[in-house]
């Protein structure tokens, strides 16, 4: 294991340097030419081709653009200054989101160059939290279709829809699909959920260089239970209640069958499915095809990365932690499963590892006494009746978080409950009495739903708490020490996994590959000293994604699922990262 980590780490410094500056000089190689068939105004309508005022005089002659633009030629650096100034002039986050969306529809290279150079500033704009408001207004602000819209009312149209998108079988690396039931913290958003898929793909490209024309955003429009949308005259999705059961499963099955047949190299990324479907769909297809659920596996990986970093800081291995998870939904249980698997790799039996977790759902502690109210995916972590009979609890009919903390004395407290303030001062102080470095992760988004605030956690633990949050927080000063607050942002993980897929073409995504991603991020995050973040900052995303891709590709080879052998991981990963630069033009 140490040799494996050393092998991956040996390339990290080189990858950081090469990847960070790649869009200025793509690995020192002469860029390939961009072949353009269109002429005249048609050139300016193609976002991946259009470069606006950056077309040279000679290029304008070749492409029939003379007279269609002002005579001045401005290179990409000048364009960057102009569009960034325009971006900063937008009055609010939603206006900035719309500005960037329009820019992407006009000039993709410039859009991704701007996003890559200002990723930390713009990630909350193109993705969570701002994208949530844009999704809610999708039908009212609908301007240009982006993606593939598949309706459960017309299942026989699936193959035709993909064919109309215009990409061949070898031209797709990634399909991001949602059914829009569990969009961020705002729930069922019907057909508007397609924007979560396009937003995710923007992050894949900006953070890991997934080519924007080798990925497909998809929405499975199965109706909506959002009564506001159904009564909105402008709503443009299927106008009926959300379809469930056999018909829903048959629709998903047909989508998977067509997608995997048409695009055999692509990874299917499931995004924001409801709790009842997310686990079931992942379990159904994870052995059949290359598939990944970011809400389950991506969230788990970045939280495990933060946990491994915290364990290193606290000098206590993960297998010795006592972990309470408040919010045992798909994300919470996904975190527990990946941590459990890490403990098993460290020498515990699966039964011993499961015993290190206490998970709470909407009815309190997941235990045998809840009977059939425990969801199938939660049962593996249910506590026995015998264990609980001697517990000191406030109400024997319901074991709540305070009861669990009082009886378990956890060393790690993870919140995925969306219950603001659930980690109260009394609970945190009780925890801190029994562990020197309490590890506390209030992960619920947005900030208004966080289980606790970092400043309070540091105050209640006298600066001892090791913290990661779901939302971004400003640094906190406590007793003259500045604490950088780690954000457990899935963007630290999923872009690198997608990049690894393009490198080694795995037949499926294994648990070992997800763990490898977590370990790679955890190693980078554990590099700092007192007060430093447990995770790398968003500004390092390109370098982090490259490191994750190398680790995941290596794990795929070890698991025997890689179809392409990787010989020089740094170079091969970097070579496949699309760089937002204007390439020489060949008019054909």
Name the packing angle between helices 158-165 and 245-262 (round to 10°).
Answer: 40
Eight-class DSSP state of 297: I
Nearest CA to 541 out of 498, 485, 482, 483 is that of 498
Burial bucket for residue 300 (CB in 10 Å: 0-12, 13-18, 19+) = buried
Is 200 among the catalytic positions? yes
> Which residue in the list 112, 127, 235, 483 is annotated as catalytic?
127
537: how many CB neighbours lie within 10 A of its CB?
A: 17
Nearest CA to 63 out of 587, 432, 480 is that of 587
Name residues whose C-beta falls within 8 Å of residue 60's C-beta, 6 or more positions apart in sequence.
66, 68, 69
Strand 486-487, strand 291-293: pairing? unpaired
**Is residue 317 within 8 Å of 307, Cβ to Cβ?**
no
> Which residue in the list 200, 312, 319, 449 is annotated as catalytic?
200
End-to-end CA distance of the chain: 52
Ranges of H-type helices in 175-290 = 194-208, 227-230, 245-262, 275-285
Instruction: Give exposure, 37-57, as e/b (b: 16+ Cβ within 10 Å).
Output: eeeeeebbeebebbbbbbbee
- Gap between the Cα atoms of 25 and 149, Å rounded: 37
Strand 486-487, strand 364-365: pairing? unpaired
Burial bucket for residue 144 (CB in 10 Å: 0-12, 13-18, 19+) = exposed
Q: What angle do CA 290, 291, 297 make, to 5 degrees?
A: 130
In order of 166, 258, 262, 470, the CA distances from 154 in angstroms are 20, 14, 19, 38
- Gap between the Cα atoms of 101 and 84, Å rounded: 14
- Gap between the Cα atoms of 18 and 8, Å rounded: 15
Is 127 among the catalytic positions? yes
Three-class secondary structure of residue 359 per DSSP: strand
Active site residues: 127, 200
């Amino acid at each position: 294991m140490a040799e494996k980590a050393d092998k991956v780490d040996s390339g990290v410094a080189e990858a950081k340097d090469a990847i960070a500056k790649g869009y200025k000089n793509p690995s020192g190689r002469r860029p390939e030419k961009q072949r353009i068939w269109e002429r005249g105004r048609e050139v300016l309508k193609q976002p991946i081709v259009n470069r606006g005022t950056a077309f040279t005089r000679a290029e304008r002659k070749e492409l029939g653009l003379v007279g269609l633009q002002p005579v001045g030629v401005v290179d990409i650096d000048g364009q960057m200054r102009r569009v960034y100034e325009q971006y900063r002039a937008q009055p609010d986050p939603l206006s900035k989101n719309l500005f960037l969306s329009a820019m992407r529809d006009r000039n993709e290279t410039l859009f991704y160059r701007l996003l890559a150079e200002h990723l930390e500033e713009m990630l909350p704009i193109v993705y969570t939290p701002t994208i949530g408001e844009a999704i809610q207004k999708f039908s009212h602000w609908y301007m240009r279709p982006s993606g593939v819209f598949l309706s459960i009312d017309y299942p026989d149209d699936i193959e035709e829809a993909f064919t109309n998108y215009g990409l061949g079988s070898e031209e797709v690396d990634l399909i991001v699909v949602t059914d829009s039931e569990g969009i961020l913290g705002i729930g069922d958003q019907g057909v508007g959920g397609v924007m979560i898929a396009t937003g995710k793909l923007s992050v894949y490209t900006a953070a890991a260089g997934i080519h924007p024309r080798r990925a497909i955003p998809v929405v499975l429009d199965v109706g909506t239970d959002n009564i506001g949308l159904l009564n909105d005259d402008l709503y443009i999705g299927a106008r009926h209640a959300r379809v469930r059961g056999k018909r829903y499963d048959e629709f998903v099955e047909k989508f998977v069958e067509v997608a995997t047949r048409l695009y055999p190299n692509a990874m299917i990324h499931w995004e924001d499915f409801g709790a009842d479907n997310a686990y079931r769909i992942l379990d159904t297809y994870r052995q059949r095809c290359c598939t990944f659920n970011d809400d389950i596996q991506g969230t788990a990986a970045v939280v495990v990365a933060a946990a491994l970093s915290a364990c290193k800081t606290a000098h206590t291995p993960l297998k010795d932690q006592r972990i309470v998870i408040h919010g045992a939904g798909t994300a919470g249980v996904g975190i527990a499963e990946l941590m459990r698997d890490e403990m098993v790799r460290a020498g515990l039996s699966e039964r011993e590892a499961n015993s290190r977790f206490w998970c709470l759902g909407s009815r309190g502690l997941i235990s045998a006494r809840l009977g059939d109210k425990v969801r199938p995916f939660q049962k593996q972590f249910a506590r026995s009746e015998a264990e609980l009979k001697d517990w000191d609890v406030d109400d024997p009919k319901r074991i709540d978080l305070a009861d669990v903390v009082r009886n378990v004395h956890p060393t790690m407290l993870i919140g995925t409950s969306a219950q603001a303030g659930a980690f109260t001062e009394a609970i945190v102080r009780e925890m801190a009495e029994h562990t020197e470095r309490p590890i506390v992760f209030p992960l619920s988004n947005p900030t208004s739903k966080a289980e606790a605030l970092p400043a309070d956690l540091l105050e209640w633990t006298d600066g001892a708490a090791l913290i990661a949050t779901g939302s971004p927080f400003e640094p906190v000063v406590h007793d003259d020490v500045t604490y950088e607050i780690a954000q457990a942002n899935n963007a630290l993980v999923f872009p690198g996994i997608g990049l690894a897929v393009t490198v080694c073409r795995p037949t499926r995504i294994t648990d070992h590959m997800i763990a490898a991603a977590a370990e790679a991020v955890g190693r980078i995050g554990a590099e700092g000293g007192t007060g430093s973040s447990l995770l790398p900052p968003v500004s390092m995303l390109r370098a982090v994604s490259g490191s994750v891709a190398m680790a995941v590709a290596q794990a795929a080879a070890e698991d025997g699922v890689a179809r392409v052998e990787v010989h020089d991981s740094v170079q091969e990963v970097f070579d496949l990262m699309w760089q937002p630069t204007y390439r020489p033009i060949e008019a054909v």
